[in-house]
Amino acid sequence: MSIPVDYETLRLIWWLFLGVLLIGFAVMDGFDLGVGTLLPFVARTDTERRVLINTIGPVWEGNQVWLILGGGAIFAAYPPIYAAAFSGFYLAMFLTLVALILRPVGFDFRNKLTDPRWRRVWDTGLFLGGFVPALVFGIAFGNLLQGVPFRLDQDLRVFYEGGFLGLLNPLGLLAGLLSVAMLVMHGAAYLNVKTDGVIQARAKRALQGAAAVTVALFALAGLWIASGVEGYVITSAVETAGPSNPLLKTVERVPGGWLSNYGAHPWMIIAPAAAFVGAAAAALLARGRAEVTTFVATALSVTGIVATAGVSLFPFLMPSSLDPASSLTAWDASSSHLTLFVMLVATLIFLPIILAYTSFVFRVLRGKVTNEYVEKNSASLY
């Protein structure tokens, strides 16, 4: 079969697609996680908590499609990444899965009884369903930047030699807190769009505080990585269209290595700039009535933060701290030429459908969720 796109280009396209899917998850499902994290703080009464729940209840399942797409893309396009990640981050991913399961259960069970104790239990579950995944995803990125303790043998089998507690290192925890602050900011911007009155006022205050924390933690993380974290650099010839065998290259750890891409490709500075500008703009815009523009600003900041991690790591996807040569990159950890092409065709067909459906849903569900609306439709809403 003649494939009209060369292997190198397909690998680069799938690196970009993987970034798009991860950013899509952070932007679309991120505000759901942020609203869940804000639930005990922004909503003071049962009616107010139901308002928050009903802002995301109709859309969270569709938003979580981006997580499924991202996981599926890693499994099919970069199988060694999938294998290494599920070996190394197994307990962290299990914890995240448990937390995510609390969301649908909480949405469906919370309103079954009016007992305040019953509802407090599920409110706690919804909080954990937002906070824990946001924290764990950030910790995972923080550990990627330091290298993951795995190695490959000559048969390319993955051996992970770390533990769960090893993930809870200072930089990993900093990245986790940055992730939480970022998604709280984004969730507060969504509540600014979807609510009014006292809930909206609290959401605005939360947005401004979270935006300031996001800027501070992102700057601190950048300084830490620039001054105290060794990056990874390929020192041998790069076979961008070669076989998927990570052991054919040589890699060195270099202080400040994660900044090398910005020197070689100055345009990449757009990513961290977008992170700072988006958060700062959102904090300023929240003082007025530009609700949708504020949400776009937080989405820009989220996009910039996730993109910064991606372009800093490129071409690495999962560096190895045990054996740098075992590090997995976009050039040597991909599926076959044919597999990537078939996936590309499927993506070009179905991704526009997902985007169109998502746009349709949000258009149909536009408008604010108010206390009066929730009380009037108490039996039919979450």
Whether 130 is in a domain gets the answer yes
pLDDT at 26 (0 to 100): 95
pLDDT at 88 (0 to 100): 78
| AA letter at 118 | W
pLDDT at 23 (0 to 100): 95
pLDDT band at 89 (very low <50, low <70, confident <90, very high): confident
pLDDT at 225 over 80: yes
Buried/exposed 18-41: b ≥16 CB within 10 Å, e otherwise: bbbbbbbbbbbbbbbbbbbbbbbe
pLDDT at 127 (0 to 100): 96
Average pLDDT, the chain: 92
pLDDT band at 1 (very low <50, low <70, confident <90, very high): low
The predicted model gives 194-210 an average pLDDT of: 96
Whether 53 is in a domain gets the answer yes
Q: What total of structural domains would you count in the chain?
A: 1
| AA letter at 109 | F
Whether 39 is in a domain gets the answer yes
Instruction: Give CA–CA dist 304/272, Å, rounded.
Output: 6
Q: What's the residue count for the chain?
A: 382
pLDDT at 275 (0 to 100): 97
The predicted model gives 104-133 an average pLDDT of: 92
Structure tokens at 184: 């709280």
Structure tokens at 84: 């290494």
pLDDT band at 186 (very low <50, low <70, confident <90, very high): very high
Whether 1 is in a domain gets the answer no
Question: Is there a contact between 254 and 230 (Cβ–Cβ < 8 Å)?
Answer: yes
SS3 sequence of the chain: CCCCCCHHHHHHHHHHHHHHHHHHHHHHCHHHHHHHHHHHHHCCCHHHHHHHHHHHCCCHHHHCHHHHHHHHHHHHHCHHHHHHHHHHCHHHHHHHHHHHHHHHHHHHHHHHCCCHHHHHHHHHHHHHHHHHHHHHHHHHHHHHHHCECEEECCCCCEEECCCCHHHCCHHHHHHHHHHHHHHHHHHHHHHHHHCCHHHHHHHHHHHHHHHHHHHHHHHHHHHHHHHHCEEEEECCCCCCCCCCCHHHCCEEEEECHHHHHHHHCHHHHHHHHHHHHHHHHHHHHCCCCCHHHHHHHHHHHHHHHHHHHHHHHCCEEECECCCHHHCEECCCCCCCHHHHHHHHHHHHHHHHHHHHHHHHHHHHCCCCCCHHHHHHCCCCCC
pLDDT top residue among 278 and 64: 278
Whether 381 is in a domain gets the answer no
Instruction: Give CA–CA dist 268/123, Å, rounded.
Output: 41
Residue with token string 């979270």: 210
pLDDT at 327 (0 to 100): 95
pLDDT in tens, 126-169: 999 999 999 999 999 999 999 999 999 998 888 888 888 888 99
Whether 382 is in a domain gets the answer no
Q: Whole domain around residue 323: which residue ranges? A: 7-376
Whether 193 is in a domain gets the answer yes
Cβ neighbour number for residue 247 with a 10 Å cutoff: 14
pTM of the full structure: 0.94
Question: Is there a contact between 32 and 187 (Cβ–Cβ < 8 Å)?
Answer: yes
Instruction: Give CA–CA dist 126/120, Å, rounded.
Output: 10
pLDDT at 4 (0 to 100): 87
Structure tokens at 360: 């349709």
Buried/exposed 259-286: b ≥16 CB within 10 Å, e otherwise: eebbeeeeebeebbebbbbbbbbbbebb
Instruction: Give CA–CA dist 278/285, Å, rounded.
Output: 10
Buried/exposed 101-133: b ≥16 CB within 10 Å, e otherwise: ebbeebbeebbeeeeeeebeebbebbbbbbbbb
pLDDT at 338 (0 to 100): 94
